[in-house]
Amino acid sequence: MTILDRIKAYKLDEIAADKAARPLSDIEADARAAPPVRPFAAALHKAVQKGYGLIAEIKKASPSKGLIREDFDVPALARAYEAGGATCLSVLTDTPSFQGAKDYLTQAHRAVKLPCLRKDFMYDPYQVAEARALGADCILVIMASVSDAQAAELEAAATEWGMDALIEVHDAAELERACALKSGLIGINNRNLNTFITDLETTRQLVRHVPEGRHIVSESGLNTPADLAEMARYGVRSFLIGESLMRQPDVTAATRALLANPAMGLQ
């Protein structure tokens, strides 16, 4: 089994247990009582008009790298990213592989005014309602791990709750499937979720095939201003970055430095 296969297996068990513990009607009631949705995609669109759009990730660990940050105060990290100029937040809520927690999303959302993405492996509309209940403004749909029907179902559920959906792809086949969906946000993950190997060439190759009108987010393997400038050469100005910032002692300063000199007009 690949890493993604193992994650999917335990995630489906986790969803079943959650449904048994709390019915969907209870989750939906919490979702209706949640704070209003913050515009996630719109925030990125606005940011790239004069700089970069940064989805800054709150991430404690990963399957490939293990523990990334020991000093892990979610509200403090959220505020540090906001002070550093991040456009949106991504919050890991998966526990077994990433040492995340559902409550981390709520903590982050309450600490700042930035739109928040629930970063998890989504398979069921139950999780989408749960994301809204936790304070999410956007969900992630990973094409490598879902069927076309599941992807459409998750996207429709997000729309029903007023949220955006970031559709993540890693190869041409996944991109073609993603473009059949309605979402304007396409995430190109430079990390292969089966091997966890990262290569920025993934964005360089796939961006050529993304239809006009879609907003591209390059994900994984982005560490320096030079990396961002390189992606900007290919017309990509929004990024999801976690590990390289999470490893810095001063997250605000690191975020500010990463965004300080956006490359403009290169595409």
**Distance from C-alpha of 19 to C-alpha of 124, rounded to nearest angstrom:** 10
**Distance from C-alpha of 89 to C-alpha of 39, rounded to nearest angstrom:** 12
pLDDT score recorded for residue 267: 38
141 close to 122: Cβ distance less than 8 angstroms: yes
* Cβ-count burial 242-265 (b if 16+ within 10 Å, e if not): bbbbbebeebbebbebbbeebbee
- Record the tokens describing residue 99, joined without a space: 């040492």
**Domain coordinates of the chain in residue numbers?**
3-260
Q: Residue 141's Cα: distance from chain center in Å?
A: 9
210 close to 175: Cβ distance less than 8 angstroms: yes
116 close to 88: Cβ distance less than 8 angstroms: yes
Its sign, for the CA torsion 143, 5, 135, 64, is negative
Architecture of domain 3-260: Alpha-Beta Barrel (3.20)
pLDDT score recorded for residue 265: 55
**Distance from C-alpha of 260 to C-alpha of 236, rounded to nearest angstrom:** 17
Closest Cα partner for 31 from 157, 181, 119, 156? 157
pLDDT score recorded for residue 183: 97
Per-residue pLDDT of the chain (267 residues; tens, 9 = 90+): 888 999 999 999 999 999 999 999 999 999 999 999 999 999 999 999 999 999 999 999 988 889 999 999 999 999 999 999 999 999 999 999 999 999 999 999 999 999 999 999 999 999 999 999 999 999 999 999 999 999 999 999 999 999 999 999 999 999 999 999 999 999 999 988 777 788 999 999 999 999 999 999 999 999 999 999 999 999 999 999 999 999 999 999 999 999 998 987 543
pLDDT score recorded for residue 196: 77
pLDDT score recorded for residue 114: 98
Burial label for 52, CB within 10 Å (0-12, 13-18, 19+), is buried
Closest Cα partner for 89 from 240, 250, 245, 259? 240
